[in-house]
Amino acid sequence: MGSSNRTSRREKIRDYIDANRKSPALGSLYALIFGPFGCIYTDPKVTVIGVLAAIAAGLIYWPLIAAVWLSCVLLAPFRVRAYNQRVRRNARYVVL
Among residues 46, 52, 30, 38, the alpha carbon closest in space to that of 82 is found at 46
Confidence band, pLDDT 50/70/90 cuts, at residue 94: confident
In this structure, is the dihedral angle defined by the CA atoms of residues 86, 87, 92 and 96, taken in order, positive or negative? Answer: positive
Q: What confidence tens digit (pLDDT) does each residue in 59-72 have?
A: 999 899 999 999 99
Confidence band, pLDDT 50/70/90 cuts, at residue 8: confident
**Across residues 37-48, what is the average pLDDT?**
91
H/E element, 77: helix 65-94
pTM of the model: 0.82
3-state helix, strand, coil in the chain (%, to 5): 90, 0, 10
Instruction: Break the chain into its structural domains and give their ranges.
Output: 2-94
